[in-house]
């Protein structure tokens, strides 16, 4: 049966068909951005894992190359799992990756390997070798043979290369540090670089330096530990399937990481995305001097549906990441190259939304659009009360739960207001992305941002969560902004200039292609003004 491909994205990274997951080894080499990812060349479910490989000059339009790493040696016979690139002196990229050498114990017996290009003068780096000598470069210890994976990008300090590998010991999540003088003989540091009880397996650790608060320029990974004050440490928690980061300090002498007190490890910590993003990885772009984050966004449809459509998994739009002026969190913003796909534009200024109003934004392709809007209001006096009891629960659960319980329709004071993405003609289906402002008993304000898939589709089989995250914003100017990248089955939203990001996957039955609509709405008693709205129909990217 030929399946109508209404859910394929038009500008998010995807292969022509089959399954993808984690981003691997993003890097820049001789004029091209390289992107690798976990890929099943045989189907739309996880398995037979190889490294897909694409190149691009703008990280938006991609050319598909043959897989860079496929199982070919005893040390990666059952899969080439996630890893990272390090650019060695002399502009020589090397890949560190996890090889699975036995199927048991589940999910597989894991070692770390390295691979190098066969021809450094090929800017596409189409061929890679895994030298028999020195591979595997790392073996697990007895206790972590099946929980020992995802080597990070390495950095160089005091005569040693250092890198991290994700692991666990019982329920304690661990990032082990390894060091080497020559990049082939590695030894484990005395203590874990960082660990935390009760968090389970740490996948895909990422560690990188930050510029001063508010400075958008990124820093080279290999300069880690030199002159920088702040760092980001990120792990993907296998148990929750979300990516968490802290901002902290790197104690070079004792080879340990210490998160700042203002940020928390694990479950209650900060997230790159309060929706669907996992196994992310950053790299430094030497051309534009920025740090870029790649994250995997899996499907929320059933395995049967994935098999029927022949593909599963997308990568989110690469995001620039830098430290917020407060120093307390990161800011994220889609790379500006995305704007080259902007076509037909619609502008709106100073449009009032009274309680219950919903206004359609016409004249754009609502299934494939980039919308950027700022909302203002004149008073906070009507803000709903924030229940103190909510603070007894983890912050991320509170946000998600309030979004789920109140949705976009339960009337509020200041908010809910925002957009209705991928809405059907008569609003039988829609995905609202919106804000709700609360007033605490001490008269401070809490801003909640939600992306709610509950009513996104009449299809009852899909996973339709209501996602939420708080936005740490000072409402002095009574303004909140929202940018959403809407692309057929994904709604990727940046609240308040990238302070809080939430991505949802949705599969409308009615609101597809030309039948999708975009609205702005307000269901609060306080009048909201759409101060400025820009919506651009997006062109299709050249995609693999």
Asked if residue 466 binds ligand DQQ (CB under 6 A), the reply is no
Residue list 24-43, contact with ligand DQQ (CB under 6 A): 38
Nearest to 436 by CA among 416, 408, 406: 416
Candidate residues 22, 243, 306, 526; the one interacting with ligand DQQ per rule CB under 6 A: 22
Asked if residue 280 binds ligand DQQ (CB under 6 A), the reply is no
82 vs 484, beta carbon nearer ligand DQQ? 82
User: Is there a cis peptide before residue 136, judged by omega within 30 degrees of 0?
Assistant: yes
56 vs 167, beta carbon nearer ligand DQQ? 167
Paired with 188 in beta bridges are: 178
Q: How many residues form the binding site for ligand DQQ (CB under 6 A)? A: 14
> Which string of b and e fits 298-312 if b means at least 16 CB within 10 Å?
bbbbeeebbeebebb
Cβ pair 140, 110 in contact under 8 A: yes
82 vs 527, beta carbon nearer ligand DQQ? 82
Write down the least CB distance from residue 434 to ligand DQQ, Å.
Answer: 30
Residue list 40-59, contact with ligand DQQ (CB under 6 A): 49
Asked if residue 150 binds ligand DQQ (CB under 6 A), the reply is yes
Report the alpha-carbon distance of residue 169 to residue 291 in Å, rounded: 31
Give 386's DSSP letter. P
298 vs 522, beta carbon nearer ligand DQQ? 298
49 vs 55, beta carbon nearer ligand DQQ? 49
3-state secondary structure of 94: strand
Report the alpha-carbon distance of residue 325 to residue 321 in Å, rounded: 13
Cβ pair 58, 340 in contact under 8 A: yes
Asked if residue 165 binds ligand DQQ (CB under 6 A), the reply is no
Q: What is the DSSP string of 285-300?
A: ETTTTEEEEEEEE---
Paired with 320 in beta bridges are: 292, 333
Give the per-residue SS3 of 394-437. Answer: CHHHHHHHHHHHHCCCCCECEEEEEEEEEECCCCCCCEEEEEEE
Candidate residues 21, 300, 456, 522; the one interacting with ligand DQQ per rule CB under 6 A: 21
97 vs 470, beta carbon nearer ligand DQQ? 97
Asked if residue 82 binds ligand DQQ (CB under 6 A), the reply is yes
Asked if residue 115 binds ligand DQQ (CB under 6 A), the reply is no
Write down the least CB distance from residue 525 to ligand DQQ, Å.
Answer: 44
Asked if residue 203 binds ligand DQQ (CB under 6 A), the reply is yes
Asked if residue 164 binds ligand DQQ (CB under 6 A), the reply is no
21 vs 466, beta carbon nearer ligand DQQ? 21
Cβ pair 504, 453 in contact under 8 A: yes
Asked if residue 113 binds ligand DQQ (CB under 6 A), the reply is no
Asked if residue 473 binds ligand DQQ (CB under 6 A), the reply is no
Residue with tokens 């484990």: 188
Write down the least CB distance from residue 420 to ligand DQQ, Å.
Answer: 32
Asked if residue 20 binds ligand DQQ (CB under 6 A), the reply is no
Nearest to 447 by CA among 422, 424, 481: 481
Write down the least CB distance from residue 246 to ligand DQQ, Å.
Answer: 19
47 vs 123, beta carbon nearer ligand DQQ? 47
Cβ pair 26, 294 in contact under 8 A: yes
Write down the least CB distance from residue 79 to ligand DQQ, Å.
Answer: 7
Cβ pair 537, 379 in contact under 8 A: no
3-state secondary structure of 322: strand
Cβ pair 204, 240 in contact under 8 A: no
Write down the least CB distance from residue 102 to ligand DQQ, Å.
Answer: 15
22 as an active site residue: the answer is: yes
Candidate residues 20, 235, 279, 335; the one interacting with ligand DQQ per rule CB under 6 A: 279
Candidate residues 39, 51, 81, 434; the one interacting with ligand DQQ per rule CB under 6 A: 81
Candidate residues 8, 12, 18, 149; the one interacting with ligand DQQ per rule CB under 6 A: 149
Half-sphere exposure for 464 (CA within 13 Å, toward CB): 19
| Residues belonging to the active site | 22
**Which residue ranges make up the site for ligand DQQ (CB under 6 A)?**
21-22, 38, 49, 81-82, 98, 149-150, 203-204, 236, 278-279
């Amino acid at each position: 049966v030929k399946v109508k491909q209404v859910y394929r994205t038009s500008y998010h990274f995807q292969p022509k068909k089959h399954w993808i997951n984690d981003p691997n080894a993003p890097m820049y080499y001789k004029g091209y951005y390289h992107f690798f990812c976990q890929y099943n060349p045989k189907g739309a479910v996880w398995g037979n894992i190889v490294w897909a490989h694409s190149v691009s000059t703008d990280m938006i339009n991609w050319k598909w190359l043959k897989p860079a790493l496929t199982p070919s040696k005893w040390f990666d016979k059952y899969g080439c799992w996630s890893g990272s690139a390090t650019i060695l002196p002399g502009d020589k990229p090397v890949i560190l990756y996890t090889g699975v050498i036995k199927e048991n114990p589940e999910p597989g017996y894991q070692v770390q390997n390295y691979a190098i290009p066969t021809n450094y003068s090929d800017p596409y780096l189409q061929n890679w070798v895994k030298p028999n000598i020195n591979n595997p470069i790392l073996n697990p210890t007895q206790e972590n043979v099946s929980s020992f994976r995802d080597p990070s990008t390495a950095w160089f300090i005091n005569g040693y290369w250092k890198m991290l590998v994700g692991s666990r010991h019982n329920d304690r999540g661990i990032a082990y540090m390894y060091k080497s003088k020559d990049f082939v003989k590695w030894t484990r540091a005395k203590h874990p670089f960082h660990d935390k009880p009760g968090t389970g397996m740490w996948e895909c650790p990422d560690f990188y330096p930050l510029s001063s608060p508010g400075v958008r320029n990124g820093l080279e990974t290999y300069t880690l530990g030199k002159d920088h004050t702040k760092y980001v440490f990120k792990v993907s928690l296998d148990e929750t399937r979300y990516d968490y980061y802290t901002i902290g300090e790197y104690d070079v002498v004792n080879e340990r990481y210490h998160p700042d007190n203002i940020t928390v490890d694990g479950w209650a910590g900060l997230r790159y995305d309060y929706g669907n993003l996992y196994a992310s990885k950053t790299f430094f772009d030497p051309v534009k001097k920025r740090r870029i984050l790649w994250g995997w966004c899996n499907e929320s449809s059933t395995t049967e549906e994935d098999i029927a459509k022949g593909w599963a998994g997308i990568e989110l739009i690469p995001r620039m990441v830098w430290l917020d002026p407060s120093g307390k969190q990161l800011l994220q913003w889609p790379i500006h190259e995305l704007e080259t796909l902007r076509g037909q534009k619609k502008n709106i200024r100073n449009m009032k939304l009274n309680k219950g109003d919903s206004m359609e934004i016409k004249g754009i392709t609502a299934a494939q659009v980039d919308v950027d809007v700022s909302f203002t209001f004149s008073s906070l006096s009507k803000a709903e009360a924030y229940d103190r009891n909510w603070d007894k629960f983890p912050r991320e659960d509170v946000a998600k739960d309030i979004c789920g319980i109140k949705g976009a329709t339960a009337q509020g004071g200041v908010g809910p207001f925002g957009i209705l993405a991928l809405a059907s003609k008569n609003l039988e289906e829609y995905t609202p992305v919106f804000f709700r402002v609360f007033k605490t008993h001490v008269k401070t304000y809490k801003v909640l941002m939600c992306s709610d898939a509950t009513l996104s589709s009449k299809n009852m089989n899909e996973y339709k969560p209501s996602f939420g995250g708080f936005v740490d914003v000072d409402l002095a100017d009574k303004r909140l902004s929202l940018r959403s990248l809407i692309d057929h089955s994904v709604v990727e939203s940046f609240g308040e200039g990238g302070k809080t990001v939430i991505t949802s996957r949705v599969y409308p039955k009615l609101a597809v292609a030309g039948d999708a609509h975009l609205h702005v709405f307000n269901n609060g008693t306080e009048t909201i003004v759409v101060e400025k709205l820009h919506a651009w129909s997006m062109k299709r990217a050249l995609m693999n």
